[in-house]
Amino acid sequence: MRLPLNELRWLKRAALDSNRPLEHLIQRRLNREPLQYIIGTQPFGALDNIRVRPPVLIPRPETEEWVIQLAEYLCSSDWSASRRISLLDLGTGSGCIPLLLCHLCPNIVANGIDISPHAVQLANENAKLCGIPYSRFKASLCDFVHPGFPKAETINSPYDILTSNPPYITSDEYLQLSDDVAKFEDPTALIGGCDGLEFYRVIAGLIARDGFLSPKAVVALEVGHSQAAAVCDILSPTGFKTSIWMDSWGKKRTIIAQRQ
Amino acid sequence: MASPEDIERLRQLKESEPLQDAWDHWTSTLKVLEDIKLLLDDPDPAMKALALEEAAELDQKLSTILNHTFPSLLVPPSTTANLSALVELKSGVGGTESSLFLETLLRMYTRFSQSHSWKANVVVSNENEGGGIKDAIIEIKGSNSYDTLRWESGVHRVQRVPATESGGRVHTSTVAVIVLPLIEEQDAQKEALYSMDDIKLEVMRARGAGGQHVNKTESAVRLTHIPTGITVSMQDERSQHQNKRRAFQVLSARLMDRKITREIAERRARKNSLIKSADRSEKIRTYNYAQERVTDHRIGLSIMNLSSVIEGNALQDFTDALKQDFEETTMEDMLESESQ
């Protein structure tokens, strides 16, 4: 593996900033460890330093893009006039999605839930690093696939906004992934069942429940590169009207669902 | 109670203070000279000699006021005084030797910025495989940094025996420097330098599925400003958002630079005077290592201690002289248009 010059430069700076020997960092990178885990942070929109730590999913540029777009969409809609907007992020990971939205929209109050204790711990650390107080963001350990969900006391429905970047890689695709993803990131944050769509079915069920979302709620879901149509189909029985956002790389990346 | 009109008057008064000071200085010096003149015919030879000496000194003072102080007051205050600078460096002829010299210039500007308490931040830096830096951009934040550095734009030439040259021959290599006016994001919007409809934004072509499937570390962005054809590529930052922000910053600086250049040209065209060449492909300065000499070809100024320019504070001598030259040119333009 040949290290791109940019990566070398970033590693040099990280070595200098953290007083670690550069050779160790380079060796880790040559062992295919993701650059972001070695450096320990990843910028996400206006948040310059989201902390990242194995095995919690590293924020992707596609996600950064639609979250910024969602913030702009919310600011231009009737929502911007509301005093308080409540948000739930399913499978919050590092917390990047709700934290950037909290940062960009001052009237958002958010909950993030995740099945991984590593993720919950990291998301709460990130809130502190980003200066988002506990009164505005809280991550909790919770399994939204569990039939008992959302009875848990951590949930304050109805929510005005539901976001999620759920695991969407199929089991077959997972075996084809390159080492820097497969060997280091949590498979439970990546694999969405045999067809990669398992979690969208669960989310569709949640959306359809009475009182889970407010009447004017907005749902934003990241999807895999070829899943947009299938996810829209899964959501259609809920009565929510769906639209698709493209990413800069020409992929149908985000489903936006709202009540008709 | 101060009314808004009072505040306006106060401001005018404050602005005219240098005029009053210069005039006071002129009249008081003149008064002293008049008094001294009476002593020039003094019968006492010692007194006469003293008076002569002092008169000569006062005469000198008066001509300085007349030739330098008064004209400099006529130069309109700079409209770019509050702007920060974005300095772009590109290696030119000379291969690795040029890249090595670029690294030296980068250090020179960084050090110069520190001595002015400006905040210098290297935002782009592409290393050359054989050593040195192929191209770089430094953001230099601080008031007056653009006005001080703007005359650094042009081709800088180095003449020396490269470390890699075994035959001991002197090589000539070049680095192109462009100093752009840097404006804050919100000011860029106020200036209305571009419309988003005129911008084409491209990302580096994705390979494959994207999203959770891959972990990209490159997030290069390219902006094209369609009306001018200016393109800016940025890949030095670690997120797409940051690369985009940097790219827009560089684009704004380039458009602002065009605007300022255009305004100067229009002003001169209106005054029907000759436009002094502002050609950026012009060789403006030579750094001759063998002779320990740095020469600025525009003003014919040589500094005989090369390391004091590169590692010390002597760059200031160049920037001061160039600023003065600019003010004099502005004056000449004004006078020429007066006489027409």
Q: Could you read off the pLDDT of B11-66 as tens digits, one per residue?
A: 788 778 888 899 999 999 999 999 988 888 888 888 888 889 999 999 999 999 98
User: B133, B196, B202, B212: which to substitute to probe chain A, counting the most A Cβ within 10 Å?
Assistant: B212
- Interface contacts A/B by beta carbons within 8 Å: 94
Closest CA to B87 of B183, B180, B188, B156: B180
Locate tokens 């976001």: which residue?
Answer: A163
Those residues of chain A that have pLDDT short of 70 are 1, 80, 151-153
pLDDT tens digit string along B146-190?
Answer: 999 999 999 999 999 987 777 888 999 999 999 999 988 777 777
How many whole angstroms separate alpha carbon B196 and alpha carbon B330? 36
Locate tokens 């100093």: which residue?
Answer: B179
Are the C-beta atoms of A177 and A124 separated by less than 8 Å? no
Q: Inter-axis angle of helices A61-76 and A96-104, to 10 degrees? A: 30
Give the pLDDT score at B274. Answer: 46
A9 in contact with B, Cβ within 8 Å: yes
Residue boundaries of the structural domains of chain A = 54-259
Using CB atoms, pick whichever of A43, A165, A222 lies closest to residue B238: A43
ipTM at complex level: 0.92
Give the pLDDT score at B273. Answer: 47
Are the C-beta atoms of B148 and B116 separated by less than 8 Å? yes
Are the C-beta atoms of B173 and B97 separated by less than 8 Å? yes
A169 in contact with B, Cβ within 8 Å: yes
Listing DSSP states for B215-268 in one string gives ------EEEEETTTTEEEEE-SSSSHHHHHHHHHHHHHHHHHHHHHHHHHHHHH
Token code pair at residue A206 = 């949640």
Are the C-beta atoms of A7 and A35 separated by less than 8 Å? yes
Contact residues on chain B for A169, CB-CB shorter than 8 A: 212-213
Please provide the CATH number assigned to the domain covering B81-340.
3.30.70.1660
Using CB atoms, pick whichever of B125, B201, B211 lies closest to residue A222: B211
- B240/A173 CB distance under 8 A: no
Are the C-beta atoms of B65 and B22 separated by less than 8 Å? yes
Give the pLDDT score at B275. Answer: 43
Those residues of chain B that have pLDDT short of 70 are 1-2, 205-207, 268-279, 337-340
Give the pLDDT score at B189. Answer: 72
Q: Which CATH class is domain A54-259?
A: alpha beta
